[in-house]
Structure 1
Amino acid sequence: MRDIIITLIVFGSLPFVFKRPFYGAVLWVWISVMNPHTQSWGFAQSMPFAAIIAGTTLLAMMAKPKEVSLPNTALTWLLLGFSAWMCLTTLFAIGPEDPWPALNKVLKIMGMTVVVAMLVRTRKDIEMLVWTIVISLGFYGVKGGLFTIRSGGAYRVWGPMGTFIEGNNEIALALIMVVPLMMYLVPLIANKWGKRAMWMAAGLCALASLGSYSRGAALALGAMLAFLWLKSHEKAKLGALLLVLAPLALVFMPEQWHARIDTINTYEQDGSAMGRINAWRMAINLAADHPLFGGGFQIYNRFIFQLYAPVPDDIHAAHSIYFQVLGEHGYVGLALFLLMYLVVWRSGAWVVKHADNIPELEWATRLVRMMQVSLVGFMVGGAFLSLAYFDVPYYIMVIMMATRLLVERMLKERAANPPVVQQEEAQGVA
């Protein structure tokens, strides 16, 4: 039954993509973030839904070129530049394993991220993308939170198999990122029960991230909540809520959870933590030997570790977005990667600076603040996870840039046609 429902949703939506290509972007974000076909048990699991949606969207874009425009922003060119650089580092890859399949997977993500950027234009488009991300990840957060309550936190929460967020660490970080987006949507919900449901969903997502037993996610959750409090306009109310709920959540978790988290303080005695440090040192040593191009994709194997790791037989994935990019694409790749986040952050700061006191743009300042909170959570938690190519942060980047472009356009229109009150005040002063 699930297979039929998912297939009907996808194929039933394709005609609307030809009506408006942006709907293809929404479908793509849904299928790539939620991966609903992984929740089925039959033919839908192997259906190439992503390829079908991508192909249909590209055809619709060619049929309606007036609805398509490449945004001339620093982020756009950095995304394209980072993608081109990864192609170049793949040509110079040093590992014995074939790096091209990994490059192909990453380029699909980057390419469709640019496609999404080419199609989002209005506030409605922006909020539709936010809703899509919230629903896609919130499904697993609510499910995981209820599972944690039912099991008393005795078992770990895992993500959907065969996806970026399959592991307990990965799903935890994704859920941490979605909580601030849920906070943005709460005031937009008219029904009081809808608001309460969204608050409850956010709480369950946070609880599910704790139920993952991820130490990195625990640090990211703390950083996200602290920054959420700093960005909030209701610091007293939110602070009181956190002071009540945070201890309750910690008390609820069982002893084995606290024992797992406490190993942060004794990481030297933890094999997993030391394995990550060994992988980080390997990336540093590799980049020292190949500072320009790094080692390319597929460097986490015995051959590379024998050359560059302090402990050659302790082979681990990068377990850090920063060391992952450094090892795979060198210092140039890492600079491009970090520059994307810097540009996006400054764009959010620009929106807050120029639109903070304008009532009709209140939604934009609130949204960029919440997206900044999400990115803080990702950049803290990502320091311990191999999620450099996880698509959700890139979609948030695109939404941030689209918000800035829209605010810029609205401010220009406002300057050209000032509100009547402003005109009267100006005449009175004159």
Structure 2
Amino acid sequence: MLFTWQESLRNTFRGAAGWTPGRWILAIFIFISLMFTYSRSSYMALMGALITYSLFKKKYILIAGALIILILSAILLPRPSGEGVKLERVFSIEQRIENWKQGAQIFADHPLLGVGFNSVRFAKKQYGFGKEDILVSHSGAGFDNSFLFVAVSTGIIGLIFYILLLKQVFVSGNLLIKTSLVAAIIHSLFLNSLFFPWVMLWLWIIIGTIKALNSKHQ
């Protein structure tokens, strides 16, 4: 959703030739849909993408405008009953911090090469983390931070190479890729979203395209 919204916004701000009411409507519709996720990590990812876009375009007033719109939208959101729609909820924060502590403990014991890819759930089982069904639970295979997941799986060596890979994508990509990558990275600090299938598909297509273009120009 973030990627689609950024593309529509990019087309809107191309100039008079690129501006159409349809693109504005699409951007507003997707923005409202995003706000109704009640996801604080998504809000932060959106803000990070807008800041990145504004800095590269040197349109600094967009940062203040986007921040005001985001805050006002969050305040005006309807609040039906239920913990999941409370932006001030702390239960999920406490659970996430506990999850990070578990990952940090495993990483501290396996700092160089990690526990191995697809072995996180078995490491959690060995350390006594999680519920009894951790070997079959979907959430048992990772952590609520993609970089922590990489560190636990592949150690500091794998983490360094992964960060260098993302750096290459950021440096070589156009503005849309840069803003999308920033959004994905910010979101991945709170969920293992860099390893969601649709995000991985987007990321590896971009990496493959950049590699192919670099090889062509050599």
TM-score range, shorter chain: 0.7 to 0.9
The answer to which structure, 1 or 2, has the higher relative contact order (CA under 8 A, 6+ apart) is 2
Name the SS of the counterpart of 2:204 in structure 1: helix
- 1:185 paired to 2:29: no
Q: Which residue of 2 aligns with 1:167?
A: none
- 1:242 paired to 2:52: no
Q: Cα deviations across residues 245-264 of structure 1 (Å, max 9, x unaligned)?
A: 4355234311359962223x
Q: Which residue of 2 aligns with 1:34?
A: none
- 1:387 paired to 2:193: yes
Q: Which residue of 2 aligns with 1:255?
A: 79
Q: CA deviation at 1:320?
A: 1.3
Bigger fraction of residues in helix: 1
Q: Give 2:101's aligned amino acid.
A: R
C-alpha separation in 2, matches of 1:206 and 1:402: 34
Q: Cα deviations across residues 200-228 of structure 1 (Å, max 9, x unaligned)?
A: 21222222222112121122122222222
Q: Cα deviations across residues 159-194 of structure 1 (Å, max 9, x unaligned)?
A: xxxxxxxxxxxxxxxx223332323334399575xx
Match of 2:21 among 188, 193, 196: 196
Q: Cα deviations across residues 41-64 of structure 1 (Å, max 9, x unaligned)?
A: xxxxxxxxxxxxxxxxxxxxxxxx
Match of 2:117 among 277, 287, 296: 296
Q: Extract structure 1 runs of 4+ deviating beyond 6 A.
A: 402-406
Conservation of the 8 A alpha-carbon contact between 2:144 and 2:189: yes
1:361-400 equivalences under 5 Å are 368-389=174-195, 390-398=200-208
1:113-152 equivalences under 5 Å are none
235 and 397 in structure 1: CA distance in 2 versus 1, 3 angstrom threshold: farther
Q: CA deviation at 1:330?
A: 2.2
- 1:286 paired to 2:112: no
Q: Cα deviations across residues 110-147 of structure 1 (Å, max 9, x unaligned)?
A: xxxxxxxxxxxxxxxxxxxxxxxxxxxxxxxxxxxxxx
C-alpha separation in 2, matches of 1:318 and 1:383: 10
C-alpha separation in 1, matches of 2:107 and 2:68: 46
C-alpha separation in 2, matches of 1:239 and 1:218: 14
Rg larger in 1 or in 2? 1
Q: Give 1:262's aligned amino acid.
A: E
Q: Which residue of 1 aligns with 2:53?
A: 228
244 and 288 in structure 1: CA distance in 2 versus 1, 3 angstrom threshold: closer
1:76-115 equivalences under 5 Å are none
* TM-score normalised per structure 2: 0.73
Q: Give 1:286's aligned amino acid.
A: I
Q: Cα deviations across residues 92-114 of structure 1 (Å, max 9, x unaligned)?
A: xxxxxxxxxxxxxxxxxxxxxxx
C-alpha separation in 2, matches of 1:369 and 1:191: 16
Q: Which residue of 2 aligns with 1:419?
A: none
Conservation of the 8 A alpha-carbon contact between 1:183 and 1:370: no
Q: CA deviation at 1:327?
A: 1.9
Identity %: 21
Q: CA deviation at 1:377?
A: 1.0
Q: CA deviation at 1:340?
A: 0.6
Conservation of the 8 A alpha-carbon contact between 1:325 and 1:333: yes
Conservation of the 8 A alpha-carbon contact between 1:215 and 1:260: no
Q: CA deviation at 1:338?
A: 0.8
* TM-score normalised per structure 1: 0.40
222 and 234 in structure 1: CA distance in 2 versus 1, 3 angstrom threshold: closer
Unmatched segments (≥5 aa) in structure 2: none
Q: CA deviation at 1:381?
A: 0.8
C-alpha separation in 1, matches of 2:209 and 2:29: 25
Match of 1:277 among 97, 110, 132: 97
C-alpha separation in 1, matches of 2:8 and 2:59: 16
C-alpha separation in 2, matches of 1:205 and 1:330: 38
Q: Give 1:212's aligned amino acid.
A: T
